[in-house]
Structures are given as structure tokens and as C-alpha cells.
Amino acid sequence: MKVAIMQPYLFPYLGYYQLVNHCDVFVLYDDVTYIKQGFINRNNILQNGRPLRITLPVPGASSNRLINTLAYSGDTGKIKKTIAQAYSKAPFFHAVYPLVSRVLDNQDRSIPAVCKKGISEVFAYLDMPEEIILSSDIEYDRQTSAEDKVLQICQALGSVDYVNSAGGKKMYAKESFLSKGCELSFIEMKDIVYDQNGGGFVPNLSIIDVLMWCDKDRIRQLLDEYHVS
């Protein structure tokens, strides 16, 4: 059973969803400290052929607090209006915008709840159900090293196969994981291009951009365009 663990992000880029799709169980790492200026509450969309930052405020956000103790603001009008203006003429706007609105207006405002819904709604739209759980619901030693936390989460789930994004190569070594009975692999998105209304391609935008410009079959294809090493 393949397990992946990532912090919750707000409508992250396609590579994040590729990781979810690749593993059997995806763990939202919600009981670690919040990272300011990251992707937990913001991302980039496309407006007039250029990237545009969108942000959903997190009142009281602090790098001294755990992610699962924080919640998104309920004032979603500005971010929804920005997304609507950017993609109103996109081919799949009318199918996708209600999905985006449901996620942003989720009744439970906690960061893990909104981000989990953001993943679940996308895969439900694609008819590709995924298993997503919260690290805060798992019994493991939260005072140990980063590597041992990951290993203990995998052990608690009965997995000896851990998958990380390519950025994890700077943190984790395959030999170290293997010495502790767990196989470590890394997933990296291929160079992907899709039609963004005929202009020059802007990569690594929020999944919202992919959903707005691509039909479901194309998105399913894009989800499989990665390397594992």
C-alpha cells in the first residue's frame, strides 16, 4: 500500500493531485506548524495570460500554531469574484466554478476541512474517488524527528511504501528509510502543457486553471504524466 503525506494547501498545483492519485492513502499533515507565505492559503491563477496571486485570509495565522488550530476567513467574496472574472470565458467555467465555490464556502472553516474538500471535490468531479485522512487522527510520536514521524505514520497505516514529492529528496534518503523497513520513492511531474486559450503557456498554476481549460479526459491524462524514482 502506497502512502503519501503532505501539508494541506488551497487548490494546489497539478503535481500535488498527481501525488494523491498515485498513492493508495493520502495523509493531510495537519498537526504540524503553519507556514506563513506558503501555499496553505494562497496560490496562482491565470488572468489575461499572466499569473495572478489569490489569497484566502487565515485570521490569527502564526508559525507558532498548528495548522489544525487555524481556520480560513468566511469572507470569500473577493477570492471568488477574482476567480470568476479570470475564467468566465473558459470552456469549463460553468461546470467548475460551482465546485470551487463549494470548497471555498465549506461550512467547516478549519484549514484541514477546506483543503480536504478541495481534493475530494476535484477527484469526485473526475469520477476518481480517493482515500484521504488527517495525520491528527493517527496515533504516532509527534515529538520525534521529521523522518521518524513519517515512518511511524506509515507503520500505523500498515504501509512499507512511502511516496514523496521530488522536493523531499533534500530531506529524506532512500537508504535511511530502507534500513527501517520502508521503501521510499519520489514523484516528479513531467513538463506539461495544455491549451490556456491560445496564449503562451504559464506552468504550475493552481489546479483551478487545469479544471477551467481542460475536459475530464484530458485532466485524467495529465494526472498520469509524472516520473517515479
Interior/surface letters 13-43, b for 16+ CB within 10 angstroms, e for the rest? bbbbbbbbbbbebbbbbbbbebeeeebbbbb
- In this prediction, residues 42-62 reach a mean pLDDT of 96
Please, what sign has the CA dihedral across residues 13, 17, 23, 25? positive
Q: In this predicted model, what pLDDT tens digit does every residue of 72-130 receive, in sequence order?
A: 999 999 999 999 999 999 999 999 999 999 999 999 999 999 999 999 999 999 999 89
Can you list the alpha helix ranges (DSSP code H) found in 73-145? 77-87, 93-104, 111-125
pLDDT digits (tens, 9 = 90+) for 204-218: 999 999 999 999 999
